[in-house]
Amino acid sequence: MDLIDVLIVEDDAKIAQTHSEILRQTTRFNPIGIAETLQMARTMIKIHKPSVIILDNYLPDGTGIDLFREIIADKSSHKTNVVLVTASDEIDTIKTAMKLGCFDYLLKPVSYERLQETLDRYITLNTAMRAYDNLEQRHIDELFNIQLRDKHQQSLPKGIESITLETIKRVFSQHIGVRYTVDRLVTETGISKTTARRYLEYCSANGLLTAENEYGKVGRPERVYVKNGDVNER
């Protein structure tokens, strides 16, 4: 799998480092650096051409939304997806970012569980777009549903997002009877270990998968998950 390069634009060193640590928990994202100012960000964008920018709106030398406008206006620049970090009272900024095509928005103080959901959704969308050589209406509908999120999301418990759940269910539906560990699911989907473990346990608790402890010759037992042919979807 190709790594997804991410640039963090954030002048708070502690917050930026936390973003970087979350990115490193996945197998797909590669934090290529931290820019503390817009000028640093412009330079790093030209050099590294990141696929994703986690962009704080307030920086010492200007606003993130202005940088986003520059990226959109530069037709020669590498295609970059922006996750804008804003305060809850910046409604006009959020409206502008939506019009510009911002991938997602995170409100301060950032919920790092919410950031992980954004990263998982990006992987799902990116994987789906690569899967189609020729688009049919159902493919387009699926891509838009991934980006806009499923309208039934509110029925799921906190920490469980419908798009990631459907991705995991699809993996098991395509591999009936195959025993999956957390590490194997991480390898196939690119989501973090923490996310994989949470969703696997949710599926097990709700009867979507069967879970059991597998004992090897040495060491602690390993948790394995499997979808059998007689397990019904919910």
> pTM value?
0.64
Q: What is the pLDDT of residue 95?
A: 86
pLDDT score at 121: 82
The residue type of 161 is E
Average of per-residue pLDDT across 218-226: 82
Query: Under a CB-based contact definition with an 8 Å cutoff, are residues 228 and 204 in contact?
Result: no
- In tens, the pLDDT along 52-104 reads 999 999 999 999 999 999 999 987 767 899 999 988 678 888 888 888 889 99
Superfamily of domain 4-110: Response regulator (3.40.50.2300)
Of 211, 213, 184, the closest CA to residue 196 belongs to: 184
CB–CB of 204/163 below 8 Å?
no
> What would the pLDDT profile of 188-213 be if each residue is shown by its tens digit?
888 888 889 999 999 998 889 999 88
Span 124-226: which CATH code?
A: 1.10.10.10
Q: Are strands 4-9 and 52-56 parallel, antiparallel or unpaired?
A: parallel
Region 113-119: mean pLDDT is 86
Boundaries of CATH 1.10.10.10 in the chain?
124-226
For residue 84, give Cα distances in angstroms to 46, 68, 151, 191, 225: 19, 9, 22, 21, 36
Q: Which of 7-11, 14-18, 19-23, 197-201 is modeled with the greatest confidence?
A: 7-11
Q: What angle do CA 74, 114, 15 make, to 5 degrees?
A: 70
> Which residues of the chain does CATH 3.40.50.2300 include?
4-110
Helix, strand, or coil (residue 225): strand
